[in-house]
Amino acid sequence: MKLVILDRDGVINQDSKHYIKSPDEWVPIEGSLEAISLLNKNGYTVVVATNQGAIGKKLFNTTTLDKIHKKMQDLLKTKKGKIDKIFYCPHIDEDKCLCRKPKNGLMRKISEYYGISLKKIPSIGDSARDLEAYAKSEAQPILVRTGNGKNVEKNKLFPSNTLIFNNLLEASKFIIKME
């Protein structure tokens, strides 16, 4: 199967220091919904792997998270796109869980769920911890210059085989062309 793994905040939607705590705060980055739809159209299953530590901090609950994700999927539907499944870590560092990126528990869950190896699977993020988690699963790390991305690029906080693009749409076009 053709799979693409995406971080959420700073890749699909605008990130905020104060976390995305409500559907209203969830605002797509220009071109990101079109990018997911384009991937779908070209036969890619798109999944999200996201740290949602604000749940562990009790800033919002999973019911609200579901509402945020419903907004994301509803907006995607208007572009004929869809995220197949959303894998999230609700923990904070102190929980010492195995899924909070840069740990690769979410990647393992994705691998188990689809029954495939994640080797070389295009995996897109805007933070060092995303790329680190991707590299641990031998996926192909891709950095976008949205969200934290420019900072990560400037400070060279990425695995040496990382590919870098301006945004999700450019990265997606490259993935499709690379086949």
Q: Does 101 bind Zn ion (CB under 5 A)?
A: no
Instruction: Look at the chain and count its residues.
Output: 179
Q: Which stretch, 78-86, 119-127, 134-142, 151-159, contacts Mg ion (CB under 5 A)?
A: 119-127
Applying CB under 5 A, which of residues 89, 118, 144, 171 lies at the interface with Zn ion? 89
Indicate if 95 belongs to the active site: no
Binding residues among 20-49 for Zn ion as defined by CB under 5 A: none
Q: Does 132 bind Mg ion (CB under 5 A)?
A: no
Angle, alpha carbons 43-114-63 (nearest 5°):
95
d(CA 137, CA 124): 13
Indicate if 93 belongs to the active site: no
Applying CB under 5 A, which of residues 126, 135, 165, 168 lies at the interface with Mg ion? 126
Q: Does 28 bind Mg ion (CB under 5 A)?
A: no
Find all residues with CB under 8 Å of 29, minimum gap 6, and list them: 11, 12, 13, 14, 146, 147, 167, 168
